[in-house]
Amino acid sequence: MAKKILIVDDDESITEVIQIVLEGEGYEIEVSLDGGCIPDFPSNLPDLILLDILLQHKDGRKICRQLKSDPKTSHIPVIVLSAHSNTSQLADDCGADDFIEKPFDVDVLISTVEKYLPQNIEPSNLKEALG
């Protein structure tokens, strides 16, 4: 079963690129252009969230803090995306699991996502993968 990733970014061109890249890697993608779906997740939670820090009508840092403080969603890895010069510090401040600076390299995107959602790990390879 494909792992589900929620992309929250108000830039449609960025979400489109991320969606194409990650679907090509076998992930199921859901997109929210405004973060409005975050407070009322459906029962089918995503396995990972890619969250822009600077959304048009919402503060991504606040959304991240909300996700990490809610027992229902605190286990979901949140990777923040930002063109801000201090992305690492912003990620730390809001409790994100990781960050990707914009503009991003596609290989960095894939490797960061795979760090939290490893693909194709068979039980016999699990020990090696956890290394």
**For residue 54, what are the domain limits?**
4-130
- The pLDDT of residue 37 is 64
Q: For the chain, 131 residues long, give each residue's pLDDT as a single digit of tens.
A: 899 999 999 999 999 999 999 999 999 999 998 777 665 666 689 999 999 998 888 899 999 999 999 999 999 999 999 988 787 888 999 999 999 999 999 999 999 999 999 865 444 444 455 55
- What is residue 92's predicted lDDT score, i.e. its pLDDT? 93
User: What is the chain's alpha carbon radius of gyration, rounded to the nearest angstrom?
Assistant: 14
Amino acid identity, position 67: L
**Domain total in the chain:** 1
Please give the pLDDT value at position 43.
67
Please, which residues have CB within 8 angstroms of residue 102's CB and are 6 or more apart in sequence?
A: 14, 81, 82, 83
Predicted confidence at residue 124, as pLDDT, reads: 47
Q: Domain with 116 in it: what CATH number? A: 3.40.50.2300
Residue 120 DSSP label: S
